[in-house]
Structure 1
Amino acid sequence: MKPKTRIQKEIARLSKRLPRLTEEQKAYAFRHCFKHYAIKRANGTNICTECGHSWKSGHDLADTICGCACPHCGMELEALRTRKSVFSENEYFSIVTTCKRYQVIRFFFVKSRYKAGQAAEYSVFEVVQRWIAPNGKTTTIARLRGMSIMYYDLWNECSDMEVRKCQELRAYDINPICTYPRQRFIPELKRNGFKGDFHGISPVRLFKALLSDPRIETLMKGGEIEGMKYFLVNPRIADECWASYLIAKRHKYQIGNLSMWCDYLRMLKKLGQDLRNPKSICPEDFIVAHDNATRKIEALHEKERAADRRRWEAERREREQQRQLRRKKDAEDFIANKSKFFGLVITDEEIIVKVLESIDEYYNEGKAQNICVFGSEYYKKADTLILSARIGSEIIETVEVDLRTLKVVQCHGKYNQDTEYHERIIDLVNKNATLIRERMKAA
């Protein structure tokens, strides 16, 4: 990405001036990024993965428990009983330094390859730089990464170190396995309470918070490290509870478990209590107060759930009433439109074709025949008359007649399949269409 702002242009220029890794820094990375093993074979032979030297050991059990040192290169080794001969590992190494007015954290990708009987092979190249201004704003210089989600460490070694977009920054959040001990810090960090100990927090995250969040600065200067870690990970809770936290500290209240205490404050807020009242937020017996608040919250939730159930039941009854009204209106409309055809029967002495005379009959017809005469609401169609062709009590086919033309539109049996009586039923209805016309005229 081409740098656009003044700061990006300045950082892109300064990045090119950063020194290369020294041999001392490389040696530190190679030594501390990886575990170094003495490969122990079944015949008692030990092989150093660092220099490839092999030797016999007379105290196999002690070496296995305590490790050993290579007699050739002096490297402290961890015993590893295995038949493997080739090992490879990847890790990250960081350098914390400054450049002009910026705090800079440089990340290097370190690769190792061990083969029994050969000296270890190492390589290292820089992949990310995080530049932090005195106000906490961060700019990232980095190489391109592969797009694969499964393989995180796919760096394009041939790509340039360039300014990267904000959307990509999560891909460049790196937790290095070790950091070079010689470090440099901008004066603003020392002013805000930083004394060189990261307390297990990512340097980038800690520096950004110290330079931009007065709360983290206050906690660092006060030595409240656990509180700082908690609020750093939970910024929303810090927003809610910070004022109460200051009040509690002002009254010298000892907070045993900060996470539980913040949960207690959030329960008090739901109960409508004042979070700035020391009597509420600094109880003498915290466990008892926490349990009381928990019971009140549970009672409140149960009350809300009961109200929800009453509302849902009222809505269900209202929907049922609306359905009943719709059914009643559909039945009234059906009778108004189709009652003139009630009692109409067409027969040839074997097949009887009768009009469906209620919405329930539409439902039963559709269910018996597995057709959509009810689901598609044919009983609402003003220009359609539905008849059922039967032999005895058995339904043969269902017939639809267009009242505008008095012609059969469709006639099907079960599953919309035609039966052997199909043509005979159609002819029977069409020939007796005058019976339908007479009912229409009489109405």
Structure 2
Amino acid sequence: MKPRNRFEKAVAASNMKLSPVSLKTIEWALGNIIVHIAFRTSGHNCTCGDCGAKFDHRGRGKSVCCPHCGHRLQVKDTLKRKNVQSAYFSSLEVADDLQVQRVFLLRAVCRKGIKLETSCMEVCRLWLNAGGKMAVTSRARTLGWYMDSFNWCTGIDLKLLSEVHWVISDTYVYPRYKVLPELRRNGMKGRLPDACHPARLMKALLTDSRIETMMKSKELQAVAYFVSRPLDLDTCWQSYKVAARHHYHPSDYGLWCDTVRLLEQCGKDIHNAKYIFPKDLKAAHDYWLGKRNKAEEKRRTQEQIAKAKAKEADFYKEKSRYFGIVISDNDIEISVLDSIEAFQTEGSSLHHCVFQCEYYAKADSVILSAHDRQGNRIETVEFSLSQGKVVQSRGLCNSNTEYHDRIVGLVNANAYRFLEARTPA
């Protein structure tokens, strides 16, 4: 890809001046991002994956120190003789007043009886200027479903920044890094936030003063969360400032931001310490979630009632001829639901969807409610006019009750009454 502007030309020129990765960087990556293992067989014979020496280990611990090379190893009970690991890591450097994140792929091969074999290949470089503008130089990708399908025979040239580069550059960073004076001025020095994308962090520090404020305050957990969730930062920034002034540090920023949004949806003041500094964050989150859900359910019910009222005239026109039909025996009384309000009450009492699914608007059905002699609801019955029989009868939470067969039998035995009402003489 040819450079299209002055910034890309500067990136292409600086891309040729970078030196190979240092041995100290590779040694750090090998010691921190690769799992060093000891092959152990059922006979407690262990083989060090680093130096290849054999030793005996009968302990039950998950780790052991090799008596030959002194490396701490993770014990792995296996009969395999080979273990291959690959992992990405990064280093941060400065070249010609440009910040660059260099991404490397480290590959380690452990074989029984042989010293650890490693190889390190540079994959891509993410470039930033002092204004936060970004570009990428990378190896060419091959066809395939995997994001790390790179052609290792190609050089690192200017490419279009894609999601692949963002994903593979979200890596561990070598702690001895160099950054632009602007980044150091904005708080990027010392330990970096855990689980935070390095390039996104640098871009945010150069373009967003709010991230700069948190970085200078050493709120690394907040930085790591908000760098990857800028929409949450827009919503919760004012609340965060209040929390920072009162030295309140949530244990879980994701849960805290959700709580702030719930408070706002419930009409509460999200700048009030009474609400945004809960002692038990999870309990407060669950409480306001319940409040929001109840309010949302009430709103939906009101909308459904308004929608039902619009169809009320058609309901009375089509179903009023069946009103007054009552079927009973010694224990049960079954009557037609004769109003929109009756449908809503029936659905709320028995916790089913007779109202939400608008059974009052079904032209082919008559809906009845079965009660006992004390007035307690038992089941809701749907009678099909075209089939002349009951098509379903549902009790609490759509379950069948002990009266189910009696109710269905009673309504079917009186099917002629509905058919006579449908076609009056």
TM-score when normalising by structure 2: 0.64
Q: Is the 8 A contact 1:70 1:76 kept in 2?
A: no
Which residue in the other structure is 1:50 paired with?
50
Q: Is the 8 A contact 2:192 2:220 kept in 1?
A: no
Q: Does residue 68 of the first structure (1) align with residue 62 of the second (2)?
A: no
Which residue in the other structure is 1:99 paired with?
95
Q: Describe the SS at the equivalent of 1:159.
A: coil
Q: Is the 8 A contact 2:98 2:180 kept in 1?
A: yes
The amino acid that maps onto 1:3 is P
Which residue in the other structure is 1:191 paired with?
185
Which residue in the other structure is 2:35 paired with?
35
CA distance in 2, matches of 1:243, 1:173: 31
CA distance in 2, matches of 1:278, 1:44: 59
Taking a change above 3 Å as real, the CA distance of residues 13 and 119 of structure 1, as seen in their structure-2 partners, is same
CA distance in 1, matches of 2:140, 2:230: 30
Shift in Å at residue 156 of structure 1? Answer: 0.8
The amino acid that maps onto 1:174 is I
Q: Does residue 208 of the first structure (1) align with residue 203 of the second (2)?
A: yes
CA distance in 2, matches of 1:44, 1:286: 48
**Deviations 1:343-386, CA, capped at 9 Å, x for gaps:** xxxxxxxxxxxxxxxxxxxxxxxx9xxxxxxxxxxxxxxxxxxx
Q: Is the 8 A contact 2:37 2:74 kept in 1?
A: yes
Show structure 2 runs of 5+ residues with no match.
Answer: 320-385, 387-425
CA distance in 2, matches of 1:17, 1:322: 85
CA distance in 2, matches of 1:244, 1:309: 35
Q: Which of 98, 104, 121 lines up with 1:108 in the alignment? A: 104
CA distance in 2, matches of 1:283, 1:25: 44
The amino acid that maps onto 1:9 is K
Taking a change above 3 Å as real, the CA distance of residues 27 and 284 of structure 1, as seen in their structure-2 partners, is closer
Superposition map of 1:10-409 within 5 A: 10-52=10-52, 54-57=53-56, 60-62=57-59, 65-71=62-68, 73-149=69-145, 151-166=146-161, 168-174=162-168, 178-200=172-194, 201-250=196-245, 252=246, 254=248, 256=250, 258-272=253-267, 275=270, 297-316=292-311
The amino acid that maps onto 1:85 is R
The amino acid that maps onto 2:26 is K
Q: Is the 8 A contact 1:86 1:116 kept in 2?
A: yes
Taking a change above 3 Å as real, the CA distance of residues 156 and 316 of structure 1, as seen in their structure-2 partners, is farther
Q: Is the 8 A contact 1:68 1:76 kept in 2?
A: yes
Show structure 1 runs of 5+ residues with no match.
Answer: 325-366, 368-443
Shift in Å at residue 18 of structure 1? Answer: 0.2
Q: Describe the SS at the equivalent of 1:67.
A: strand
CA RMSD of aligned residues (A): 3.6
**Taking every aligned residue pair, what percent have the same amino acid on both sides?**
30
Taking a change above 3 Å as real, the CA distance of residues 38 and 297 of structure 1, as seen in their structure-2 partners, is closer
Deviates more, 1:212-221 or 1:293-302: 293-302
Aligned length: 318
Shift in Å at residue 43 of structure 1? Answer: 4.8
Q: Is the 8 A contact 1:68 1:77 kept in 2?
A: yes
Q: Is the 8 A contact 1:38 1:47 kept in 2?
A: yes
Q: Describe the SS at the equivalent of 2:227.
A: helix
Deviates more, 1:221-230 or 1:292-301: 292-301
The amino acid that maps onto 1:312 is K
**Deviations 1:44-92, CA, capped at 9 Å, x for gaps:** 543332333x3343xx224865412252x44443333321112222111
Higher helix fraction (1 or 2) = 1
CA distance in 1, matches of 2:287, 2:44: 65
CA distance in 2, matches of 1:138, 1:307: 50
Q: Is the 8 A contact 1:192 1:211 kept in 2?
A: yes
Taking a change above 3 Å as real, the CA distance of residues 3 and 55 of structure 1, as seen in their structure-2 partners, is same
Q: Is the 8 A contact 2:83 2:111 kept in 1?
A: yes
Q: Is the 8 A contact 2:255 2:282 kept in 1?
A: no
CA distance in 1, matches of 2:173, 2:7: 27
**Deviations 1:318-348, CA, capped at 9 Å, x for gaps:** 7889999xxxxxxxxxxxxxxxxxxxxxxxx
Q: Describe the SS at the equivalent of 1:10.
A: helix
Q: Is the 8 A contact 1:38 1:80 kept in 2?
A: yes
CA distance in 2, matches of 1:6, 1:189: 22
Taking a change above 3 Å as real, the CA distance of residues 50 and 262 of structure 1, as seen in their structure-2 partners, is closer
CA distance in 1, matches of 2:92, 2:203: 14
Q: Is the 8 A contact 2:63 2:73 kept in 1?
A: no
Q: Is the 8 A contact 1:95 1:106 kept in 2?
A: yes
